[in-house]
Amino acid sequence: MKRKILFVSAIVAVAAGWAFATHMQTAHAQTKPATGDPAAGRSLALRACTGCHIVASDQPFKPVFTGPPHPPDFKDIANRPNVTAAALQRHLASLPAVPQRPGMANPVLTGEQLRDVSAFIVGLRDKPAAPAQ
Mind listing the pLDDT tens digit for each residue in 35-63? 899 999 999 999 999 999 999 999 999 99
Residue 131 falls inside a structural domain: no
Provide the domain limits for residue 19: 1-32
User: Identity (one letter) of the amino acid at 97?
Assistant: A
How sure is the predictor about 33, in pLDDT bands with cuts at 50, 70 and 90? very low
For residue 12, the model assigns a pLDDT of 37
Q: DSSP alpha helices (H): ranges in the chain?
A: 2-31, 38-48, 74-78, 85-94, 111-123
Look at the chain and report how many structural domains it folds into. 2
58, 107: one domain = yes
Residue 105 falls inside a structural domain: yes
Q: Which of 45, 68, 60 is nearest to 124 (CA)?
A: 45
**pTM exceeding the 0.85 threshold for the entire prediction:** no
